[in-house]
Structure 1
Amino acid sequence: MDKPFVYIQDLNLGYRNKAVLKDLYWEMNIGENYAIGGKSGTGKTSLAKSIAGLVSYQGSIEINFDQLRELPQEVLYVESWYQFKNLEGVANFYYQQRYTSLQANDTLTVHAELVSYGKEKDLQFDQVEPILEALGFATFASSQLIELSSGEHKKLQLVKALWLKPQLLIIDQPYTGLDTASRKNLNILLDQVAEEGVQLILISNDSELPNSIHSFVEIREGKLVEADTLENSTTEIHLREIPEFLKASPLYSSQDIVKMVDVNISYGEKQVLKNINWEIKAGEKWLLQGHNGSGKSTLLSLINGDHPQSYANELYLFGNRRGSGESIWDIKQHIGLISPEFHWYFDTTATVWQSIASGFYDTVGLFQQLPYTKSTQVDELIAYFGLTESKNELLTALPLGKQRLVLLARTIIKNPELLILDEPCQGLDQQQTKHFNQLVDELSSNGMTLIYVGHFESQLPTCIEKRILLEKGGVKVVESLNTEILS
C-alpha cells in the first residue's frame, strides 16, 4: 500500500502556554489538493508552517515525495505577508522610505530578484514570462522591491512559487491584495500546475477556489475536521456603545480636506499618476478602487504626507497647499491610517495597549507617558473593541483579525478628520470583515471623512457614498453611489 503524501500524527503546537494544535492527525494522499478554512486564530498558519518545517512542534510530520517525478522534492510555503530584505539582509525599513529615491541602490529590482531566484533554483527564465503576463506583473520588472504594494509583493511570491512548481505548494491567503482579474488568473495558473503534479494546500475562506481543489478541512479545538465546503456563515453582530469621546464630530480645520489639480508622479521614465484631479469635502465617504498597480498606494501617500513629490504638484490638504510650511507631522495630526504596508512596518515590540495609544502621536510605537485623560480613552476604546483580555499582549501575538481591530482603534483614537482605510480586511474571513465594516460605519457616523480602499463591493461599509476608480495611473471614473449597491 502506498504511503500518504503527507502523514501527520500527534501534532501539538502552542504559543505562550496556549495550545493551538492538539494531537492533530491528518493524511493527505497522492493527487489530493486541499483548502484549509475556518476562523482566524484556530491554527491554520501554524499547521502550514509546521508542514513546511518553519516552526518547532511536537509529534510527527512525514512528507513522502515522489522520487520519480521531475518536480522539485520541496515543500514551499508562501506566507500571507512577505517581508523582503535589502542588499545587506536587513528587513526593518521605515514606512516613508517606500517613496524616497534614496533606496534606489539599497533593494533589488523585481527583475534582479527573479534572476537571482532562477539561478538559485536552476530555473529557465523564459518559463516565468507567461506567469508574469497572466498575473499582470510584467510591467514591474524595473520596480524596486521597496516600492511594491502588498498586492504586488504577493504577486511576486506567487510568481516564484508557480515558476518553481514544488511537489507541495502551500499558500497562505493566496488572494490577499489581488484584484478580481488577478484572482481569476491565479486560479487558472494553480489548476495548470496541479495538472503537472504540484499538490496544493490553500489556506483560504474564499469561495472562488481553483477547480483542482476538491477537499476541505477546518481546524476546530486544535484538530483537523473534514468539511463539505468552505462556505462562511455569518452571525448577527451586536456592537457595544461607542465611547463618548468619539460621538462628537471631528474638529475640522477646513471644509476642504483634499484637492488635487493635475497631479503627476513619476519614477524616472515610469509615470505612476497622470493628471489626477480629485476633491474631497469634510464628511464625505469615498471608495478608492483600481487594479493592482493602478496608483492607489501612491495616491494615498500624497494625502498622508509621505510622498516627497507632493511638493512638486498642486496639492491642498486640509485647506493648505502642500509645501506652505507644514511638516509631515502637521498633516498626520488630521489623519488616521490603516494599510497593509503600515502594518508591515509597525513596532513588533508594542503591546495592544501601547499600539492603540501610539495613535495619539502618529508613531509606530509608544515612546512617552500618556496623561490620565488619554489613558482612560485608550481603556474605553479597548473595551469597545472587546480587547480587554488582550491589552497587555504583544500586537504580533494576536490573530490577524484582532490585530486589524487594534490598528482600527489606533487610527480613530484621536477622532481624526480623515480616516484612510487601505484594504483593511485583507486576510479576514467573512464574519470578521462584516464586523470590521460595521465598526467603521458606527465610528464614522459622527461626520468623519473616509477614504476606503477595497476591491469587492460585497465587502464594504454601507456608509460609502462616492467612488473614484483609477486605471493605469489616471482617473477613469468619479461617481456618486447608490448605497443599495454596496449592501
Structure 2
Amino acid sequence: MAEHTVIFTDNHSDKYAFSESLLQGNPPEALSGLRSLSGALFSNARIADFIEEEARHQRSDLQPQPDRELRTYSSGERKKALLAYLLQQQPDFLILDDPFDNLDREYRESLSGQLEELARTTLLIQLASRPSDVLPCMVHRAFLEGQNLVGFPTYEPEIPSGPRITGSIPPPPGPLPELPETLVDFRDVSVAYSGRTIVRNIDWRIRRGEFWELRGPNGSGKTTLISLITGDNPKAYGQELYLFGTRKGSGESVWDIKEHIGYFTPAMADRFRGYHSVENMLISGLTDSVGLYQQPGDLQLSLARQWIGLLGMEQEREVLFRDLTEGQQRLVFCARAMIKHPPLLILDEPTAALDEPSAFLVVSLIRKMAAESRTAVVFVSHRPEPGLHPEKTLFLESGQGGSRGRIA
C-alpha cells in the first residue's frame, strides 16, 4: 500500500515526465500502489495552463471572479483556487509540485494545515526542491534522478553551497536612452477590484541605478503594482502614475512603456518551447522576439558570447535552451532581460522552484547586474532571499482597506 512520500528534486530532475507517468498509471515499482488510483497535479505549471487558456479564450475554469483576470491574482490566491478545483474531482492521490513555492509565511502555514488535513483522506506525493518545505505527514523519502527514483524509502538530501558569478557584465549594445532620473513615480495610487481595494495610497519612486526589492505577503498587491508599471493593467488610467517621464494615459502606447523595461518571470518559460540554442535565446533579447529568426550581426554575436562567458556556459552555447536545467534557464532568462541594459529591469520571483544552489547562483548574477550598471532593478518576492541585499525595499503590508506601502 502506498504511503505519503516526499521526492526531493534538483534542476536535473524531470518532474514533468515523472508526474505524467504517475498520472497515467505507470509509476515506478517503489510507488506501485498508485497503479490503480486516479491522481491530480497541483503545480505552478498547471496554473500557467489556465492563464494561457484565459489569454486565448478570455475565460478559464479557474477564474474565481468573472470581472478579474486570473493573471492579476496573487500566487496564494491562484493556488487556493487550483486546490479547490482539483479536490472537486475527488482524486485518490495528489502530486504536490513544490506546493509552497511563491508563498509567504501566512499562506504557507494555511496551505500546510489544509494539506495535513487532506492527508487523512488523500494520498500525497510531494516534489520538494528545498528540504525546509517537506510536509510533516511524509512517511517515505526518495530522490528524482532524471526520471528515476533513487534512495527510496529513506533518502536524506545534502545541500551543497553554490558558486558565485565572477567577472564583469558585458556593455550595452549602444547608447542608453535619455530619460529622467526618476523612472517610475507612484503618487497616492490606489487600485480596487469589485469594490475590494487591493493597494491603497501607494507612493513609490524608482530612480536610475537603484536596486529594489518589492516584498509582501500573497494577495498584498505585488502583481498589481508590477502590472501598472508594465502597462498591462487598465487600472493605471486616471491615476497619478508617471512612467519614464510621462503620465500614464497621456497618449503613450503600451510598447512605448515596454521598450524601456526588461522583464522576467518563470511563467515565461512556457513561451520558449521551440528549438532555440542558448546563444540565439540571448540574441533574441536584442531583437525582442521569442527566439531568433534572422541572421545575427557581429555585435549581437559578440554580446551574446560575452554573456555566455559570464554565466560560465561556454559548453552550452549551442545546446537547445529547452534542454538546459531549470537553474541554467533562469540564468539565461535573466541575462536575456538585461542584455540591452534597459533603464528598468523587473525580475518577478526569479528563484521560484529552484534548488538552493541554483537560487544562490541566480541571486549572485542579479546582484552583479545591479552593481555594475545604471539599470534600476526590482526584485519581486514574497519572502527574504538569502544573499540578495537590495539597497531599498518596498514592503506591502496587508490590512483592512487594502495594502499600504512601507519603504525601508
Is the TM value for this pair above 0.5? yes
Distance across 2 between alignment mates of 1:47 and 1:65: 13
Contact 1:107 1:146 in 2 (8 A): no
CA pair 430-236 structure 1, distance change in 2 beyond 3 A: closer
**AA in 2 matched with 1:93:** A
* Deviation of the 1:236 alpha carbon: 4.6
Distance across 2 between alignment mates of 1:63 and 1:370: 51
1:214 to 139, 158, 164: 139
The structure showing larger relative contact order (alpha-carbon pairs under 8 Å, at least 6 residues apart) is 2
Query: 2:333 aligns to what?
Result: 407
CA pair 213-180 structure 1, distance change in 2 beyond 3 A: same
Residue-by-residue CA offset, 1:359-379 (whole Å, 9 max, x unaligned): 224343435443221221012
Distance across 2 between alignment mates of 1:460 and 1:323: 38
1:185 to 2:149 alignment:
no
* Deviation of the 1:470 alpha carbon: 4.2
* Deviation of the 1:417 alpha carbon: 1.8
Kindly report which structure 2 residues correspond to 1:464-475, keeping only aligned pairs within 5 A, or say none. Answer: 464-471=391-398, 474-475=402-403
Distance across 1 between alignment mates of 2:162 and 2:364: 11
**AA in 2 matched with 1:479:** I
Query: 1:79 aligns to what?
Result: 43
1:110 to 2:63 alignment:
yes
CA pair 35-462 structure 1, distance change in 2 beyond 3 A: same
Q: The residue matched to 1:426 in structure 2 has which SS?
A: coil
* Deviation of the 1:433 alpha carbon: 0.8
Query: 2:17 aligns to what?
Result: 46
Distance across 1 between alignment mates of 2:157 and 2:336: 32
**AA in 2 matched with 1:81:** A
Deviates further, 454-463 or 413-422: 454-463
1:378 to 293, 304, 309: 304
Kindly report which structure 2 residues correspond to 1:85-484, keeping only aligned pairs within 5 A, or say none. Answer: 85=50, 91=53, 93=55, 106-108=59-61, 110-111=63-64, 143-196=68-121, 198-206=122-130, 207-220=132-145, 222-226=148-152, 231-245=157-171, 253-344=179-270, 346-349=271-274, 351=276, 352-446=278-372, 447-459=374-386, 461-471=388-398, 474-480=402-408
Query: 1:37 aligns to what?
Result: 8
CA pair 396-234 structure 1, distance change in 2 beyond 3 A: same
Q: The residue matched to 1:245 in structure 2 has which SS?
A: coil
Distance across 1 between alignment mates of 2:246 and 2:117: 53
Distance across 2 between alignment mates of 1:393 and 1:155: 37
Deviates further, 416-425 or 307-316: 307-316
Q: The residue matched to 1:467 in structure 2 has which SS?
A: strand
* Deviation of the 1:268 alpha carbon: 4.7
**AA in 2 matched with 1:294:** S
Contact 1:254 1:318 in 2 (8 A): yes
* Deviation of the 1:226 alpha carbon: 4.1
Residue-by-residue CA offset, 1:19-71 (whole Å, 9 max, x unaligned): xxxxxxxxxxx4x21111132113344323212228x99x879744699xxxx
CA pair 408-92 structure 1, distance change in 2 beyond 3 A: farther
Aligned Cα root-mean-square deviation (Å): 3.3
CA pair 109-158 structure 1, distance change in 2 beyond 3 A: closer
Contact 1:37 1:204 in 2 (8 A): yes
Distance across 2 between alignment mates of 1:165 and 1:191: 16
* Deviation of the 1:479 alpha carbon: 2.6
CA pair 343-295 structure 1, distance change in 2 beyond 3 A: farther
Distance across 2 between alignment mates of 1:151 and 1:343: 20
CA pair 427-170 structure 1, distance change in 2 beyond 3 A: same
CA pair 258-230 structure 1, distance change in 2 beyond 3 A: farther
Distance across 2 between alignment mates of 1:335 and 1:142: 28
Contact 2:179 2:245 in 1 (8 A): yes
CA pair 92-145 structure 1, distance change in 2 beyond 3 A: closer
* Deviation of the 1:248 alpha carbon: 11
Distance across 2 between alignment mates of 1:291 and 1:155: 14
Distance across 1 between alignment mates of 2:343 and 2:354: 26
* Deviation of the 1:251 alpha carbon: 5.8
Contact 2:284 2:291 in 1 (8 A): yes
Distance across 2 between alignment mates of 1:242 and 1:227: 45
Q: What TM-score do you get using the length of structure 2 for normalisation?
A: 0.85
Query: 1:484 aligns to what?
Result: none
Distance across 2 between alignment mates of 1:191 and 1:148: 25
Q: The residue matched to 2:124 in structure 1 has which SS?
A: strand
**AA in 2 matched with 1:50:** S
Residue-by-residue CA offset, 1:271-329 (whole Å, 9 max, x unaligned): 43333221122222221122222221121111122223323221111222223443322
Distance across 2 between alignment mates of 1:476 and 1:325: 29
Q: What TM-score do you get using the length of structure 1 for normalisation?
A: 0.73
Residue-by-residue CA offset, 1:68-112 (whole Å, 9 max, x unaligned): xxxxx41222234123358xxx73837xxxxxxxx7x6445635x
Alignment size in residue pairs = 402
Gapped runs of 5+ residues in structure 1? Answer: 6-29, 68-72, 95-102, 112-139, 481-487
Distance across 2 between alignment mates of 1:400 and 1:349: 16
CA pair 460-248 structure 1, distance change in 2 beyond 3 A: farther
Distance across 2 between alignment mates of 1:38 and 1:66: 22
CA pair 92-166 structure 1, distance change in 2 beyond 3 A: closer
Distance across 2 between alignment mates of 1:350 and 1:464: 38
Contact 2:266 2:330 in 1 (8 A): no
* Deviation of the 1:229 alpha carbon: 6.6
Q: The residue matched to 1:91 in structure 2 has which SS?
A: helix
